[in-house]
Amino acid sequence: MLSEPEVGMNLSLDDIQIRDPFILPIEEEQYYYMYGTTDKEPWDGKASGFNAYRSQDLLIWEGPFPVFRASADFWADENYWAPEVHLYKGRYYMFASFKEKEQRRATHLLVADSPLGPFLPLSRHPITPMEWECLDGTLYIDVSGTPWIVYCREWLQTTDGEMYAQKLQADLTDTVGEPILLFKASEAPWVQETEFRGNRGYVTDGPYLFHSPDDELWMLWSSHGKEGYAMTLAKSQSGEIQGPWIQDNEPFFRKDGGHGMLFQTFQKEWRLTLHQPNESPDERAVFLEVNWVADRLRMQTSKER
User: What whole-number distance in Å separates Cα of residue 294 and Cα of residue 240?
Assistant: 21
User: What whole-number distance in Å separates Cα of residue 155 and Cα of residue 106?
Assistant: 14
pLDDT band at 2 (very low <50, low <70, confident <90, very high): low
pLDDT band at 193 (very low <50, low <70, confident <90, very high): very high
pLDDT at 198: 83
Assess if residue 75 is contained within a domain: yes
pLDDT at 5: 79
Assess if residue 164 is contained within a domain: yes
Assess if residue 224 is contained within a domain: yes
Q: Indicate if the pLDDT at residue 1 is higher than 60.
A: no
Secondary element (H or E) of residue 279: none
pLDDT band at 295 (very low <50, low <70, confident <90, very high): confident
Secondary element (H or E) of residue 133: none
pLDDT band at 24 (very low <50, low <70, confident <90, very high): very high
Give me the number of domains the chain comprises: 1
Which CATH number is 275's domain given? 2.115.10.20
Assess if residue 180 is contained within a domain: yes
Mean pLDDT (whole number) for 44-60: 96
| Short-list 49, 47, 44, 55, CA closest to 15 | 55
The least confident of 6-10, 120-124, 274-278 is 6-10
232 φ, ψ (degrees, to nearest 5): -130, 175
pLDDT at 303: 46
Mean pLDDT (whole number) for 74-98: 98
Assess if residue 3 is contained within a domain: no
pLDDT at 301: 62
Range of the domain at 110: 8-299
Give 225-247 pLDDT, tens digit per residue: 999 999 999 999 999 999 999 99
Give 180-190 pLDDT, tens digit per residue: 999 999 999 99
Taking the CA atoms of 197, 203, 208 and 213 in sequence, report the sign of the dihedral they define: positive
Q: What's the half-sphere exposure (Cβ side, CA atoms, 13 Å) at 5? A: 21
Share the mean pLDDT of the chain: 95
Assess if residue 2 is contained within a domain: no
Residues 6+ away with beta carbon under 8 Å from 259: 19, 20, 82, 136, 205, 206, 222, 229, 231, 274, 275
Q: Indicate if the pLDDT at residue 83 is higher than 50.
A: yes
Mean pLDDT (whole number) for 52-69: 98
Assess if residue 290 is contained within a domain: yes
Secondary element (H or E) of residue 289: strand 284-293
Assess if residue 281 is contained within a domain: yes
Give 108-163 pLDDT, tens digit per residue: 999 999 999 999 999 999 999 999 999 999 999 999 999 999 999 999 999 999 99
Q: Indicate if the pLDDT at residue 63 is higher than 90.
A: yes
Q: CA dihedral in degrees (123, 128, 131, 136; nearest 10)?
A: -120
User: What whole-number distance in Å separates Cα of residue 265 and Cα of residue 26?
Assistant: 10
pLDDT band at 4 (very low <50, low <70, confident <90, very high): confident
User: What whole-number distance in Å separates Cα of residue 299 and Cα of residue 287?
Assistant: 11
